[in-house]
Structure 1
Amino acid sequence: MSTEIQLITDLMETYFTALHQADPDLIRPIFHPDARYVDATQGFYRNLSVKEYLQVLVDRESPKSKGAQITGQIERIDIDPGGMAFIRANMQMLNRHYTDYLTLTKSEGTWLIQSKIFVWETL
């Protein structure tokens, strides 16, 4: 596995853990300060700043506290040599299936999520 793939895989493990725990302190360091969070599910559209997204996590009861498991899987990683990456990931938690499209940028050797666009459906 290439170093870049490993770095992105590590970031995604943190991402899945942070969502399971609804922990803004875990998620903050992996998001670019200017990143966007977009729920593109029909009828539920939201486009939030990172600050607004972190508040969503603070206000949410975590899946972990409810005894719920989370399953996260990276479906695809595309890396551009110019310092950009695209990830498609699937996740199941709290009776929903999520499909996330994450765009990452690399700055000073660190990958950060620049945008999170997702849809979900009830299981």
Structure 2
Amino acid sequence: MSEEQAISAVVHLYVDGMAFANEAALRKAFHPNASIVGNYEDSVEWLTRDAFISTIVEEGPAPPDRQPLMDVEMIGITGDAASVKVVDEFAGSRYTDYLTLLKVDGRWLIINKVWHRHA
């Protein structure tokens, strides 16, 4: 598997984890110390991985007949660091996510997520 394919697999885990409120998939995709940051209701929201996962699980899965949106617009890789721009949907809203990944012990993990919610 190429590095790009391995990174895409992590992005799939992340998007499916959000769409289906799959805690195990999200824990596998994110580093334990990851941060999730974006503007929410006129203030910057900083979440830990665990707080983010709790929010996803509380929201619950998307309707079973809805295929999750995942449009990977860019993957950039330099050695053991990578960045991904992905457009996805969660709880009826469209987002652009900028994911930073690091290869740790041979596995790509999301270290940071910065998100923008489209109006």
**Normalising to structure 1: TM-score of the pair?**
0.86
TM-score, normalised via structure 2 length: 0.89
Q: Does 1:85 align with 2:82?
A: yes
Which amino acid counterpart does residue 71 of structure 2 have in structure 1? Q
Counterpart of 1:40 in 2: which secondary structure?
strand
Deviating above 6 A after TM superposition, structure 1's stretches of 4 or more consecutive aligned residues are none
Equivalent residue, structure 2, for 1:11: 10
Count matched residues: 119
Q: Tell me the CA shift for residue 95 of structure 1.
A: 3.2
Q: Which runs of 5+ in 1 are unaligned?
A: none
Q: In the TM superposition, what are the counterparts of 1:1-123 in structure 2 within 5 Å?
A: 3-41=2-40, 43=42, 45-64=44-63, 67-81=65-79, 83-122=80-119
2:69 is aligned with what amino acid? T
Same amino acid, percent of matched pairs: 26
| Structure 1 contact 69–93 (Cα < 8 Å) conserved | no
106-115 or 32-41: bigger deviation: 32-41
Deviation at 1:44, TM superposition (A): 5.0
Instruction: Give structure 2 stretches of 5+ with no counterpart.
Output: none
CA RMSD of aligned residues (A): 1.8
